Structure formats: C-alpha cells, structure tokens
Chain A
Amino acid sequence: QSRLTQPPSVSAAPGQKVTISCSGSSSNIGDNSVSWYQQLSGAAPKLLIYDNNKRPSGIPDRFSGSKSGTSATLGITGFQTGDEADYYCGTWDTSLSASWVFGGGTKLTVL
C-alpha cells in the first residue's frame, strides 16, 4: 500500500479544469517537496512538476502544482484528449526507513 494516496481515476471533458490530489503525512509531503509525473500509455514517466509548483522547460503552463500541509494537488486547465494518461505524485519519506515514495497513480480519462 502506497504511503501517498491518490484517487485511482478521474474523468474530464475536453476544455475542463482537472485536479488530482495526493495525500500523505508529516514524514513525506509535510516535510519534503512534491513532484508529479505523467505516463502516457506504453511510455516512460515524464516530469511535469517539481518542488511543489515548478514546471520544467517545455511543460505548458496549463499544468500547475500546489502543496498545503500534508497534501498536494496537480491542476490541469483546458483538458485535452492528449492529456489522457496516468499521473503519479512522489516525494521523499524521511521516517525511520528513509525512502523515495510514489502515490498509487491516477488514471485520467476523457468523459
């Protein structure tokens, strides 16, 4: 079971705003930066958001990230069919056994 909790699936119509949540604890999200990854079908994950809300070069500003306390959120405005993918949050967990952890993933589909 993942230490970070994401909804298994989210659906949206083209053009809508989408949010995907990632819930953790004081030993992971509460104490460390969160990153988000997009995994298109059959492809390797791709970095979307890092340090909670920064976008790498080449990532459109339709994608945004935020963090509050022990939760983080990925936002997508103007949802496009090409955004259909699995999305994962991730961060360090600095509990007794320090380790990088990922959420279970959210499958984003078109309505």
Chain B
Amino acid sequence: QVQLHQWGAGLLKPSETLSLTCEVSSGSFIGYYWNWIRQPPGKGLEWIGEINHSGSTNYNPSLNSRVTISIDTSKNQFSLKLRSATAADTAVYYCARAPIDTASHFDNWGQGALVTVSS
C-alpha cells in the first residue's frame, strides 16, 4: 500500500515562499499524476496543481502565477512552492495521487500539513 508523507515549514510571514515536500513510499512514480490540494481552516478543498513523472504540470488558474510543482524521481519526492504568501494561503496542505489513465480521482492522500501565514 503506497503511503504519502509530507513535510515543510509550518509558519510563514506574509510575502515569504511556502515550501512543502511529499515523499511516496513504495510503488512507482510512473502511471500517476502527483497533486497538491489545500483546505483553509473550516472550509472546503481547493486543488492547487499536479505533476507527472516526466515533469509535465497543470495548475489551478487562480494560483498559476505563484505556484511551482517539481519532482525528483530519484528520491520518490515531489514539491510545492507558493510564492508571495498571504494570510489567505493559511490552510492544511495535502499531497495526493491520481491514476494517469483517467486522472479522474485521488486514490491516496497524505496526512496533511498545516501552514500558517501570519506576521
């Protein structure tokens, strides 16, 4: 059973860059899209973007100008960077896997990492 474990800085000041990494234990990177999804406190889910094993990305248009998702297949890791953070970026951030043939669902999720943006 694949497991996704994520980590990163939990507290940022406004204008700093949010940075998170997700490590995939067991299983292959090939055949999946690797995603970031966030959930502000008390609110719903928002998709941030995805990357496949060859580095091809898709981003939420509302975040496109500030987001970069990268992948390191040698370490079974993919990462999120969100520039110019504001209080509105305070959320629990999840990494999640989607089968590449359909990209129709997220079948495995990380445990989530709370990131707070505050001065």
Contacts and interface: CB of A to CB of B under 8 A. Distances in A.
Interface of A: 2, 32-33, 35, 37, 44-47, 50-51, 56, 88, 90-92, 97-105
A33 B104 contact: yes
Given A2-B44, A32-B104, A105-B44, 10 more contacts: A35-B105, A44-B94, A47-B107, A51-B104, A51-B105, A90-B45, A92-B103, A92-B104, A100-B47, A102-B46
A56 B47 CA distance: 21
A99 B37 CA distance: 12
B102 to A, nearest CB: 7
Contacts of B47: 90, 99-102
A46 B4 CA distance: 13
A103 B43 CA distance: 11
A51 to B, nearest CB: 6
Lowest 5 A-B CB distances belong to which pairs?
A35-B105, A50-B105, A97-B61, A100-B47, A33-B104
